[in-house]
Amino acid sequence: MDDAAMIQVLGAIAYGELGAHEEAKAKAAAATDDEERTRWRVIAGQELRHYKGFTARLKAMGADPEAAMAEFRPALDAYRGTRPADEVEAAVWAFLGEGIADDLMVWFKTVVDDEMAAFVASVLTDEEAHEGQAAAALRTVIGDNPGSADAALSAAQTMVDNMIASGGGVGTVPSAPLLAFMRVGRADELVRLIMRGFARRLREIGVDPSGIKTPFRAPV
């Protein structure tokens, strides 16, 4: 195992969890009813637990968590800095984003030792519940609206465009963090998991994956 690459990957995941914690905490503070407030507080607590678990492993490897997360801040902050234009975009981005997080954890569980794999399994339990809640929220937003498929397609396209732009755009040299994910192992499985999972979730919300314009070809 390439320890330097693993430290980078842990840094990326930890910063993602920290951002998820902060976003959930903000939503809890802005909630207009007790049930919603409680739900977001629970999620914020879970995301904080995840963050602490990943940073604990970084420290155990002799790494500084802040330094490990630092190189991911520009791209992730740029992605999070683009706010959804409406409630459909917000719901679609949340659902698809939770799905990507789930698929990433499924892959990560296969490239770590048994102790970390057990922790990742507990993270997956939380994240799968978060995806379920995001799916329910999305169904509430789009309902039976005959124009919902077009709105969901537009929202998904905007999310993909945002992800590409926040990573530097098409044609840029792969960053060291991206290469770290490739060096950790089973990179082909990671790509397949994320792209197939993204396509499956698009179909679940009535969107034909072939309608999404990307510079990449999905694996079959």
Query: pLDDT of 189-214, one tens digit each?
Result: 888 888 899 999 999 888 889 888 87
Report the b/e string of 163-177 with b at 16+ CB within 10 A: bbebbeeeeeeebeb
> What is the dotted CATH code of the domain comprising 3-209?
1.20.1260.10
- Looking at residue 170, what is its pLDDT? 44
- Looking at residue 173, what is its pLDDT? 45
Distance CA(196)–CA(94), nearest Å, equals: 18
- Using 50 as the pLDDT threshold, list the residues of the chain that sit under it: 169-173, 218-220
- Looking at residue 215, what is its pLDDT? 60
> Nearest-5° angle of CA 13, CA 19, CA 24?
125
Q: Domain residues of the chain, as ranges? A: 3-209
pTM value? 0.86
pLDDT tens per residue, range 41-68: 999 999 999 999 999 999 999 999 999 9
